[in-house]
Amino acid sequence: MTEHDYFAGQPLQIGCGTHLLLDDHIVEDRWRLARVLERPEKFIRNPILVRDKPWEGDLAYRPHVIYDQTVGKYRMWYQCISMMNYYGAAGPVYYIGYAESDDGFNWQKPLLDVCDFPGFKKTNIVYCGTHRQRVQGVQVWRDEAETDQARRYKMICLEARPLAGELQSGVNLAVSPDGLRWKLTGENHILDYHSDCENHVVYDPERKRWILYCRPIHMYGAGRKIAHRHMRRRVAAMTSDDFVHWSYPRTVMVPDERDTPDYDACLVFRYAGQFLMLYHAMEGDDRGANETRLAVSRDGLHWQRFWSRQPFLARGREGDWDGGQITVSCPPVPHGDHLLIYFTGTVAPQYDENMAGGMGVAMIRRDRFAAQEAGDQTGFLLTREFLLEGNRLRINCSRKEGGAADAYIKVELTEHPPLGGHFGAMPGIPGFRLENADPVTANRTDAPVTWRGNGDLSVLTGKAVYLRFEMKNMKIFAFQVTRE
């Protein structure tokens, strides 16, 4: 179902599950509420991983982490860079390191012999590229639908391969049976130019297509200087129905009048039926300081940014290990009732000579990317009309920081009045009105919604309803429709 169907008179069909209140897709009306960004809390013992092996070159960064149930560990693939090889061509320039963790916070670098690395018998380097020049910006996932065990793990990476008699950089797919031994696939690039960022793919199950996020093709001719840099540091996307034939890359997000002049890179992921983007806003100077901001989309191509342009994950203080720039290169990893967000931090901005830095992790409660917040005056949020397909409601909510003791959320279910009826009349459904609602005051990700102790909505299942939230000194992040 599309929004066109809604405006033609049909209720939204949102199904059961979690529904974030990040955008206005499901919002009919709002009064005395502000949309506020929630920020992850950085781990107190950051950085969790730094360059400390002689083969790691000058910097270890761009972590990509998954939890692999088959081995019962958190697994990280990260990028190394050797500036000596960059300028001297004596060996690999960009290559991929590997680390493991039992808890997502304490990491080990196992010594392996899966990648022949000059000067060392065993390292934790797992891929130097098929032609041993460069491999960077990796995205790794375990493909449960893959029937060929040799292709169980997939990697999107920027890698050089021979084309027209010389090595040319482009976006490629590599495969592995175990996540350690990698092999390049195909004979050609997926994308045949040097898209120097965190290239990655996201699957869109509603439209049954893949989306590859990259830099636009007109990045050619762009360089380090400010006058040239803005030609390429944008967000572009390509689509494919079969992961073989890809569309032409089109720019999907450019800086506006409130933005810094560059988007250095981005990370897009699916969450609760939406596309979320953590994009790296780069300052318009010769140093290139970055911070990470949040955008949201319903189709992965049309994006909404937050008006405040506040950072979702901010740089540290000047001189801190992450005071120069901070970038995210993998989707949040579930960890109990929280999400782990892994990131790169550097002491200095991108174009300074100081490459010191490392990798860190931040934590945020599940579903809490942004909230609708009420203050001391009572506020309301009315959802759009939707088909109620479950029989219970839960909400993800917390008290407003610094708010008064008088804090609550009440929920009412209502139906739309017929045309020609009394103007403004939209009473609650008997038994599920505000006067019957039990106030929710807890800081919970799954607080049950009840009316005089009863949360059973079975009598309304299959009917079109609205939800009206009455709030005071509270935040609401999401609501859940469940079938219990």
Q: In 164-226, at which residue ranges do the beta strands (DSSP E only) sit?
A: 166-176, 183-184, 200-204, 209-214
The percent of residues above 70 in pLDDT, for the chain, comes to: 94
Going by pLDDT thresholds of 50, 70 and 90, the confidence category of residue 223 is: very low
pLDDT for 89 beyond 70: no
**328-354 burial: b if 16+ Cβ within 10 Å, else e:** bbbbbbebeebbbbbbbbbbbbbeeee
Query: DSSP readout, 273-301?
Result: TEEEEEEEEE-SSSS--EEEEEEEESSSS
Burial of 43 (0-12, 13-18, 19+ CB in 10 A): middle
Q: What value does the mean pLDDT of the chain take?
A: 91
For 21, other C-beta atoms within 10 Å of its C-beta total 26
- Domains 3-38+370-482 and 41-365 agree in fold: no
Q: Is the peptide bond before 331 cis (omega within 30 degrees of 0)?
A: no
CATH code assigned to 3-38+370-482: 2.60.120.260
For 326, other C-beta atoms within 10 Å of its C-beta total 26
The percent of residues above 90 in pLDDT, for the chain, comes to: 72
pLDDT for 221 beyond 70: no
Query: DSSP readout, 303-320?
Result: EEE-TT---SB----TTS
Going by pLDDT thresholds of 50, 70 and 90, the confidence category of residue 353 is: confident
pLDDT for 193 beyond 90: no
What is the tens place of the pLDDT at every residue in 114-141?
Answer: 998 888 999 999 999 887 778 988 999 9
Task: Round to whole Å and give the CA distance between 105 and 243.
Answer: 34
Task: Round to whole Å and give the CA distance between 267 and 200.
Answer: 8
Name the helix (H) or strand (E) containing 395.
Answer: strand 392-399
Listed by start position, the domains of the chain span: 3-38+370-482, 41-365
What is the tens place of the pLDDT at every residue in 296-342?
Answer: 999 999 999 998 899 999 999 999 999 999 999 999 999 999 999 99
CA 40 to chain centre: 13
The fold of the 41-365 domain, in CATH, is Tachylectin-2; Chain A (2.115.10)
What is the tens place of the pLDDT at every residue in 379-388?
Answer: 999 999 999 9
What is the tens place of the pLDDT at every residue in 402-449?
Answer: 877 899 999 999 998 877 665 566 889 999 999 999 999 999 999 999
Output 182 or 229, whichever has higher pLDDT. 182
pLDDT for 220 beyond 50: no
pLDDT for 231 beyond 70: no
What is the tens place of the pLDDT at every residue in 7-57?
Answer: 999 999 999 999 999 999 999 999 999 999 999 999 999 999 999 999 999
Distance (Å) of CA 308 to CA 145, 224, 312: 41, 28, 11
